[in-house]
Amino acid sequence: MNDEAGLFEFMRNQSGKILDQLLQHIGLTFISLLIAIVIGVPLGIFISRKRRLAAPVLGITGILQTIPSIALLGFMIPLLGIGAVPAIIALFLYALLPIVRNTYTGITNVDKSVVESATGMGMTKNQILTKVELPLSMPVILAGIRTATVINVGVATLASYIGAGGLGEFIFGGIALNNTNMILAGAIPAALLAIFFDFILSVVQKINLRKARIAIWLLPVCLILLSSFYLLPDFYRSKMLAGFTPEFMGRNDGYLGLKKKYKLNIRTVVISDAVKYKAAFEKKLDVIDGYSTDGRLKAFHLQVLKDDKHIFPPYYAAPVVREEVLKQYPQLEQVLNQLAGRINDSVMTELNYIVDYLKQSPDKVAKDFLMDQRLYKNPLSESEGVIRIGSKIFGEQYILTAMYSLLIKGNTHLKVDTKTGLGGTKICFDALKNDQIDMYPEYTGTGLLVILQTPDSIISDLNGDKEKIYNYVNQQFQKKYALKWLKPIGFNNTYALMMRKEEAQNLNIETISDLKNYLSKK
């Protein structure tokens, strides 16, 4: 396949969406930047007057800066929910440090004798600030704004995790879907945006001395203009709001399938898996996608809508292992297969519930389960080789990884190295293909659609049949990648649409077709 041609085609097909996301991205970046300037510059001036406060203020803004962006967005959800507001506040907090620090540094580094002569000539404090200190520190302040802008363009990609839109929708969708073109369609504009604004601001910084007075007025005007971009794409409205993960948004057995087969037309935001259940529970979202075995279904009183047109194929979980490793350690396959058929849907939901909601560690849950099943054995000495087990970044995968780890330790002399939290399918699969890990638990449907990107004709031949799909996927994986699917664990963690139980019952919605009918009623 020619990737480059694919990218241009993808970008052309999606140009409307790219433009929307681009505008949202610019809007998010500059609304937060504007707030950061409005608050940061006066704060910087203030601490340059009250030097005693400088250390604590810069310290606090510095600490804010060190919070990982995902974590900061996570903190925002319980306080402010999802959407633009928490995203803007998080971005604002990131932009604050460079602006406050540079304003402070700029003003305190203005030549003392210049300030003294200004005072000596009879300028008031305000005149000194506006005519001497600010103009002379403007290059430093602008450098701070420039840093903040570039940081914000980058961090704003993460805003899509909490349903605030932006170019992150494509980037994370692409990572989840193993779709390089999609990643690039988000990443390239984001990178260009950062380079572009960095360049523009570097120019502003240089023309400074003489034309500062014009630039000072132009800057806020431009900022407000750019900020307003966020509101532009917001013209589609419907009764309900759906929050879908980036992965779901781009999949044929996801949002695309819903549109195609059910003709479902609903306003959507992209949101991360980690927060969507809570958002649905708190009535910030009405419909979300999810996994049918998810523990949070139970925790947040959600109801799965029946897939009456069968767009979601079976997703039976099984370990995918490099054949080379199976040959090297022949005892391994039999050990891993001990789990085959042991866990059905309700058991898996229960285990997930214990981990995700009751906050027990996946290791403990795995051990308890294996003991219950009389599969647990005390670890043997580690004298042979190392098996590297990977997992995607959600609870079920952590539990399965922990179980395999315990089984291998208890039954062989192999050492186990777990690499959990490898993001989405693409990252896990690439790690496996490139010999970074030896195995991870995968789902047949994901293998079929996301990794193999099986053509529609073959999919319809397979007819959603559990056995046929497993065999097809296993055969293709061995042929293409020298990877083997071991026996399925038993449960079917398929995609599902879900709603709050209460709302579903009130509106009498049981299937996805019911939902579609309700939405199209107007």
Partner 1 sequence: MITLTDVVKKFGITTAVAGVSFEVKDGENVVLLGTSGCGKTTTLRMINRLTEVSSGKITLAGKNIHDIPPEELRRNIGYVLQNTGLFPHYTTAENMAIVPRLLKWTEERIKKRIFELMEQIRLPQNILSLFPQQLSGGQQQRVGLARALAADPPVLLMDEPFGALDAITRGDITKEFSRLEVLKNKTIVLVTHDIREAFELGDRILLMDKGKIVQQGKSTDLLFHPKTQFVSDFFAAQKMQLELHSVYLKDIFNHLENVNNKNGSPLIDESKTLWEAIELLQFENKNFLQVKDTISGEIKSVGYNSLFTGLEALKQQRNE
Residues binding partner 1 (CB under 8 A): 111, 113-114, 116-124, 127, 132, 135-136, 209, 212
Residues 6+ apart with CB under 8 A from 129: 45
User: Following DSSP, what letter does each residue of 252-263 receive, concatenated?
Assistant: TTTHHHIIIII-
Nearest CB to partner 1, comparing residues 111 and 382: 111
> In whole angstroms, how close is the CB of 125 to partner 1 at the nearest point?
9
Nearest CB to partner 1, comparing residues 124 and 265: 124
Beta carbons within 10 angstroms of residue 377's beta carbon: 13
Query: Of 301, 328, 511, nearest to 412 (Cα)?
Result: 328
Per-state percent for the chain, helix, strand, coil, to nearest 5 = 65, 10, 25
User: Which position has the token pair 């058991």?
Assistant: 347
Nearest CB to partner 1, comparing residues 117 and 517: 117
Nearest CB to partner 1, comparing residues 148 and 204: 204
- Asked if 25 contacts 190 with a C-beta cutoff of 8 angstroms, the reply is yes
Nearest CB to partner 1, comparing residues 52 and 522: 52
Nearest CB to partner 1, comparing residues 119 and 337: 119
Rounded to an integer, what distance in angstroms lies between the CA atom of residue 86 and that of residue 94?
Answer: 12
> In whole angstroms, how close is the CB of 205 to partner 1 at the nearest point?
14
DSSP-H helix ranges across 156-283: 168-177, 180-227, 246-250, 255-257, 273-281
Q: Residue 471: what residue type?
A: N
As given in the structure block, the two tokens for residue 486 are 């071991």
Compute the radius of gyration of the chain from its Cα atoms.
27
**SS3 state of residue 500:** strand
> In whole angstroms, how close is the CB of 211 to partner 1 at the nearest point?
11
Phi and psi at 362, nearest 5°, equal -55, -35
Angle, vertex CA 332, rays to CA 329 and CA 335, nearest 5: 160
> In whole angstroms, how close is the CB of 43 to partner 1 at the nearest point?
24
Nearest CB to partner 1, comparing residues 68 and 122: 122
Beta carbons within 10 angstroms of residue 437's beta carbon: 24
> In whole angstroms, how close is the CB of 144 to partner 1 at the nearest point?
19
Rounded to an integer, what distance in angstroms lies between the CA atom of residue 405 and that of residue 351?
Answer: 17
Nearest CB to partner 1, comparing residues 110 and 389: 110
**SS3 state of residue 420:** coil
> In whole angstroms, how close is the CB of 236 to partner 1 at the nearest point?
50
> In whole angstroms, how close is the CB of 102 to partner 1 at the nearest point?
18
As given in the structure block, the two tokens for residue 43 are 């704060």
Phi and psi at 494, nearest 5°, equal -90, 165
> In whole angstroms, how close is the CB of 92 to partner 1 at the nearest point?
30
Q: How many CA atoms lie within 13 A of 241 on its CB side?
A: 18
Nearest CB to partner 1, comparing residues 127 and 471: 127
> In whole angstroms, how close is the CB of 113 to partner 1 at the nearest point?
4
Rounded to an integer, what distance in angstroms lies between the CA atom of residue 181 and that of residue 274?
Answer: 25
Nearest CB to partner 1, comparing residues 103 and 418: 103
> In whole angstroms, how close is the CB of 141 to partner 1 at the nearest point?
14
